[in-house]
Structure 1
Amino acid sequence: MLSGSYLSVMEAQTQEQFRDRIVRFAQELGFDYVSAMTVVDHSLSHSEFINVDNMPQAMVDAAASATTYRRDPVMQHCKRGTVPIIWDQTTYVNRGVADLWENLAEHGYRTGIALAMHFPEGRHFMMGVDRSESLPGNATDLTRMVADLQLFAVHAQDAALRLFVPVDMQMERPKLTPRELEALRWTMEGKTAWEVGSILGISERTAVLHIQNAMHKLDAINKHQAVLKALRLGLIH
């Protein structure tokens, strides 16, 4: 059900399209609200925040304070790390800021999941989904929900960095060899390294080497992110 959302958000061409597609994903996942924040650090003392969400205006006004941001345990968690955080009232009570949760709860934000990604050259992406209902008590269902959000966020950050990061801060087009591009194209089609080797008439080990070289040139942490970056840069289609 959610797989179409992954590709759809990556193809967004405007902020409005990006917003529509993250809202649709959140609703399919079972959440009322979603927020996707792109942060660009221009200097040590100045950062630009571009937030796309479906937050009610009353909630926007309540959350606008810098003091609230510094006290919020979910925001502080995302500022420092990349591991997803599953939050509810207990998260705020344990940090001594129960009043913040009460304010959130008034606007329908009682629990949620949030995560962040931090990239070189001062680029960051944070995404969270929130709702008034409790999260699933079944560990398997909750784990699947977190995994769906993580996978979607990988695609969403690619679109967000393309749409919102200044051109002079975007990744330059790296020079990949024809073999590296072919290996990525077949990886995009779901082929294993062994299958890629068979198609290209090379050994599995050589196919793995081409994919790893492409990952390194694209500054990707795995082959799937390499494919996404290559698509965004127009290196493969």
Structure 2
Amino acid sequence: MSDPHALILMADVLSSTTEVEMAAKMNAAAPQVLCEQALFGIELRQPMLPVIQHITSGYPEQYRHLYNDKGFIYRDPSVVHCQTRTDPIFWNESMYDASSYEIMEESQRFGLGHGFSVPVRESDKVVSMISLARDQPFTKQELEYIVPTAKVLATVMHVVAQKIIVPSMIESRQPRLSPRELECLRWVAQGKSNTVIADILKISDDTVAFYLRGALRKLGVSTRMQAVALCVTFGLIT
């Protein structure tokens, strides 16, 4: 990518400090890959926890509501591709089947009929994708030009989202354990029984059991070791 203007726009995306700013700069960069609209999605995968996703969209609002209401994300072949592959996917009719054909039709209706998606997989924990769309087909010459630039934009968006979006995704599922609940679990992680923990903390066995029951309830697990494992996942026990 040698276009100085494109380089400036990519660098500008990196300077984003809020999601609103990131979205605006993503949309401003879309024309550099000869597209009119852009969408960025990031997926967080943590052990023992359901996968969670966050979407930053420049697509038409009505289409976004339709996409969410109909659960298109679970049928969208571009999403499936980007969850499992590292190469870009250019949208075409053959990638849709009976369960997803409606997505193609609705995309065309909203001027999103032609485009491509670029995944970024920095680790197994965080995977992202950017989709860029327009209402006209691409020529072969255009495709040769836009792929390198789109890969740079996808990487830049991934880096910024790691700073701006991922921390709030992690925080949103962080359990609100009391200091005593967490303290008891830390001793459990060291192999201590309720009786030993009670002696260390100078409280009764029943009180230790009470704190551990509360921790298990908040974490949504049924055993002490599952609770410890989740706390390790959240970084609460190291």
TM-score by length of 1: 0.63
Q: 1:67 and 1:52 mapped to 2: Cα distance?
A: 16
Structure exhibiting the larger radius of gyration computed from Cα positions: 2
For residues 114-148 of structure 1, what are the alpha-carbon distances to aligned partners after superposition, in whole Å with 9 as ceiling and x for unaligned? 01112335111111101111112x2x431221111
Paired residues in the alignment total 165
Task: Name the structure 2 match of 1:125.
Answer: 128
Normalising by structure 2, report the TM-score. 0.63
Specify the SS of the correspondent of 1:114.
strand
2:44 paired with 1:40:
yes
Identity of matched residues, %: 15
Q: Which amino acid counterpart does residue 57 of structure 1 have in structure 2?
A: E
Contact 2:82–2:119 (Cα < 8 Å) also in 1: yes
CA distance, structure 2, for counterparts of residue 106 and residue 153 of structure 1:
25
- 1:23 alignment counterpart: 27
Q: Determine helix, strand or coil for the equivalent of 2:136.
A: coil
Deviation at 1:65, TM superposition (A): 4.7
CA RMSD of aligned residues (A): 2.2
Structure 1 distance, partners of 2:66, 2:6, is 32
Of the three residues 114, 118, 139, the one matched with 1:111 is: 114
Residue 168 (structure 1) shift: 11
Q: Does 1:80 align with 2:81?
A: no
For 1:71 and 1:49, locate their aligned partners in 2 and report how far apart those are by CA, in whole Å: 15
Residue 53 of structure 2: aligned partner: 49
CA distance in structure 1 between the aligned counterparts of 2:67 and 2:114, rounded to whole angstroms:
16
Aligned 8 A contact 1:89 1:111 in 2: no
> How far apart are 1:67 and its partner, in Å?
4.5
Contact 2:82 2:128 in 1 (8 A): no
Q: Which amino acid aligns with 2:83?
A: K
In structure 2, the partner of 1:141 is 142
Which consecutive residues of structure 1, in runs of 5 or more, have no partner in the other structure? 170-237
Partner Cα separation in structure 2 for residue 125 and residue 119 of structure 1? 9
CA distance in 2, matches of 1:31, 1:76: 22
Q: Distance in 2 between matches of 1:67 and 1:8?
A: 33
Cα deviation 1:42-78 (Å, max 9, x = unaligned): 3444222221111112111221157522322111111
Which residue type is aligned with residue 9 of structure 1? V
Amino acid at match of 2:67: A
Listed one character per residue, the Cα deviations across residues 14-45 of structure 1 (whole Å, up to 9, x for unaligned) are 11110111000102322121011122123444
**Per the alignment, in what secondary structure is the counterpart of residue 17 of structure 2?**
coil
- How far, CA to CA, are the matches of 1:44 and 1:65 in structure 2? 27
Return 158-167 or 66-75, whichever deviates more: 66-75
DSSP 3-state at the match of 1:64:
helix
CA distance in 1, matches of 2:80, 2:101: 15
Given that 2:43 and 2:52 are in contact with CA atoms closer than 8 Å, whether structure 1 keeps it comes out as yes
**Where does structure 2 lack aligned partners over 5 or more consecutive residues?**
171-238
